Amino acid sequence: MILQRLFSGDMPRSKVLTVLLLGILLALLLTPFIFPGAKALNVAAKILIFIVLVASFDLLLGYTGIVSFAHTMFFGIGAYGVAIALTHLGPTWTAVAVGAACALVISLLLSLVIGLFSLRVKALFFAMITLAVASAFQTLASQLSDLTGGEDGLSFKVPALLMDGFQKMIWDADLQQFLPHPRMIFGVEVNGKFVAFYLLAAATLVLFLVMLRLVNSPFGRVLQAIRENAFRAEALGYRVVVYRTLSTMLSAAFATLAGILLALWLRYNGPDTSLSFEIMIDILLMVVIGGMGTLYGSVIGASLFILVQNYLQDLMKAASQGVSQVPFLKDLIHPDRWLLWLGILFVLSVYRFPAGVVGKLRMRARRTT
Partner 1 sequence: MAFALETKDLTIRFGGHVAVNAVSCGFEPGTLTAIVGPNGAGKTTYFNLISGQLKASSGKVFLRGKDISGDSAATRSRHGIGRAFQLTNLFPYLTVMENVRLAVQSRAHVGLNLWSIWSSHKDLIQKADEVLETVALTAKRDMAAAALPHGDQRKLEVGILMALEPDIFMFDEPTAGMSVDEVPVILDLIRSLKARRDKTILLVEHKMDVVRELADRIIVLHNGALVADGEPAEVIASPIVQQAYLGVEVAP
Residues forming the site for partner 1 (CB under 8 A): 5, 8-9, 213-214, 216-222, 224-225, 228-229, 231-240, 242-243, 246
Minimum Å gap between C-beta 327 and partner 1 is: 51
- In DSSP notation, 164-192 reads THHHHHHHHTT-GGGSSSTTEETTEE--H
How far apart are alpha carbons 333 and 17 in whole angstroms?
31
How far apart are alpha carbons 350 and 7 in whole angstroms?
27
For partner 1, the closer CB: 38 or 236: 236
Minimum Å gap between C-beta 221 and partner 1 is: 5
- In DSSP notation, 245-313 reads HHHHHHHHHHHHHHHHHHHHHHSEE-HHHHT-HHHHHHHHHHHHHH-TT-HHHHHHHHHHHHHHHHHHH
For partner 1, the closer CB: 219 or 346: 219
Minimum Å gap between C-beta 355 and partner 1 is: 11
Contacts of 282 (CB under 8 A, 6+ apart): 305, 309
Minimum Å gap between C-beta 225 and partner 1 is: 5
For partner 1, the closer CB: 213 or 337: 213
The DSSP call for residue 227 is: H
- In DSSP notation, 147-162 reads HH-GGG-EE-PPPGGG
For partner 1, the closer CB: 147 or 365: 365
For partner 1, the closer CB: 8 or 167: 8
How far apart are alpha carbons 87 and 187 in whole angstroms?
34
Minimum Å gap between C-beta 261 and partner 1 is: 22
How far apart are alpha carbons 52 and 254 in whole angstroms?
7
How far apart are alpha carbons 354 and 60 in whole angstroms?
18
For partner 1, the closer CB: 115 or 220: 220
For partner 1, the closer CB: 215 or 299: 215
